[in-house]
Structure 1
């Protein structure tokens, strides 16, 4: 097992539902350590960079609008194999497919926006985590 740090973004649906603390406690109960935590409003530029793989798609303005509905909470989380374990805790990207007991199964949108309003973004691999952590945290903000 490898000690890793990953990025979690609590999306606007988590913020507006008031479940950030509830979800954060699930991560802590797994033994993960908080290494950075902050609330931030996401600029158009930051979202275009973060979602560069879909920025040219016709649905990107909807994604950008959603991600700017409220500030998000950025979390740097450390633990043994944290990247894959967090993704298992979250469940599938589509909340409608997420089993009860997973974060998305318990809190994600079950309607038409189930792939977008799914509580948290989590890095999908070590290389992605490195890039995303640098994107959302400045030097010295991860301790």
Structure 2
């Protein structure tokens, strides 16, 4: 199996609550390689590209508000079958449903404003990983996976 690249975004709540180091530690403990890492201010344009399939959903305005609450940290991670592994490491999208031991299960939670603050985004398949990396790391060339 060939090496893949995937994207991890530590969302504003993860940055604010100082979980960036723990996310990086979990990635490195699994033996995956961090290819690139940067602090990013999300913009409406980037978020509309990234969440193109959700733009017309009723919850998109809340998602946009959440993702612009503060900086995010973008991480490109490489390894064999890394997309699937990192996605599982993140846990279920809803932190209440995420298993203990996953990033979202350990650090995410629901809040009274109704926004799911779930600490991280991870690519769910190799095609999305390539597309998402090109949005957040336009200076990087991703080899077809």
Query: TM-score surpassing 0.5?
Result: yes
In structure 2, the CA distance between the partners of 1:130 and 1:114, relative to structure 1 (3 Å rule), is: farther
Q: Which runs of 5+ in 1 are unaligned?
A: none
1:120 is the counterpart of 2:120: yes
TM-score by length of 1: 0.91
Distance in 2, matches of 1:29 and 1:2, equals: 20
Please show how residues 9-20 of structure 1 align to structure 2 within 5 Å.
Answer: 9-20=9-20
Q: Which runs of 5+ in 2 are unaligned?
A: none
2:108 maps to: 108
**Displaced runs of 4+ in structure 1, greater than 2 A?**
110-116, 138-142
Whether contact under 8 Å (1:41, 1:72) holds in the other structure is yes
Whether contact under 8 Å (2:91, 2:105) holds in the other structure is yes
Deviation at 1:116, TM superposition (A): 3.0
Tell me the SS of whatever aligns to 1:96. Answer: coil
Tell me the SS of whatever aligns to 1:92. Answer: coil
1:133 is the counterpart of 2:123: no
TM-score by length of 2: 0.90
In structure 2, the CA distance between the partners of 1:113 and 1:93, relative to structure 1 (3 Å rule), is: farther
